[in-house]
Amino acid sequence: MQRTATPCTSVRFRSQPPFMRILVTGSSGFIGFHLCLSLLKKGFEVTGVDNLNDYYKISLKQHRQNILEGYKNFTSYNCDLNDMQHTVNGKFNIAINLAAQAGVRLSKSENYKYIDSNINGFDSFLKFCEFKNIYKIIYSSSSSVYSGNISDINKESDLLNKPKSFYADTKIKNELCADIHAKNTGSKIIGLRFFTVYGPLGRPDMAYFNFTNKILSRNKITLFNSGNTHRDMTFIDDVSDAIESSIEKISKVKEHEIFNIASENPINTNKLIRAIEEEFNMKAIKKNLLNKNEVSKTHADCSKAKAFLKYNPKIKFEEGINKFFNWYRDFYKL
């Protein structure tokens, strides 16, 4: 599906950069949708690319896309990353790749999905950028790249040893490919390692959303290691702000820079469950499962992002999870 975008006449965006046409892949995904919506409201001309795959309910992705298509300055293409060069038209000042096969727990028999989207798809995205003469690129990486590390707090300079999932391995490969692309083409590239993003219109496979669904439907929730895990949960508005800061600062990048994007405040999984139980006045039915490959804690050091991007996460867990609950009640008419 394609719509014709009309150019905007003014853009209010911090230091008032010149008019930009921005390409966003994964535009109907959780992060992509919120980023596109924020950019559209600021008057940018945005082109979104999404294949609307069925990793989770397509209806939610379509709902997000329908909202974006209500803006005249939005153009959408329903296509795969590997088909962009033959499908997507237009000139762009910057390209942002948020499309990927998400999730760390697909079975080995489904690894081809990671290869097709995260490896081949990312390579196709970079080739598209070269073909279209796009030399400013932002892409999503993941906190999962640290899954083989033993350090308590993760820094971008950490050596990435033996990641615990094939998904994490694909993200490490993305970072290496981006580094080579920057050197070969002279592009300025920013990679963002996102830590457990949550919020309204989120992904149903993520723990906060999945647990809410199961508690309300009286189904068992599976707790790895008795819920004694911690995740550096990052609210979606802070993530969107980090990407917008990257747009603003990318001209100052020498070649390729990577930044952690997180709240720097790990949340215990049992605390998350209690928040859901208290909100809906229902008790969780739990099933404990020991999983040696489960990461016990994610905790980011965001000092590099704070210094270079002026990143400043504002939303505390209690506020963020309440925003999700309010959206959930409204969306599902509870």
Catalytic-role residue among 56, 77, 139, 167: 167
Q: Quick check: 37 and 67 in contact, CB under 8 A?
A: yes
Residue carrying structure tokens 């690894």: 111
Element (H, E) at 187: none
Beta strands 220-224 and 285-289 are parallel
Identify which of 142, 208, 216, 132 has the alpha carbon closest to the alpha carbon of residue 175.
Answer: 142
Beta strands 21-25 and 45-49 are parallel
Q: Which residues pair with 127 in a beta bridge?
A: none
What DSSP designation does 69 have? T
Element (H, E) at 80: none
Q: Which two tokens stand for residue 285?
A: 């039915």
Measure the CA–CA gap between 266 and 287, rounded to whole angstroms: 23
Classified as helix, coil or strand, 265 is coil
Q: Quick check: 242 and 305 in contact, CB under 8 A?
A: yes
- Does residue 167 carry a catalytic annotation? yes
Classified as helix, coil or strand, 326 is helix
Count other C-beta atoms under 10 Å from residue 229's C-beta.
21
Q: Quick check: 243 and 96 in contact, CB under 8 A?
A: yes
Q: Spell out where 73-186 has E strands.
A: 74-77, 94-97, 136-142
The one-letter amino acid at 139: Y
Q: Which residues form the catalytic set?
A: 167
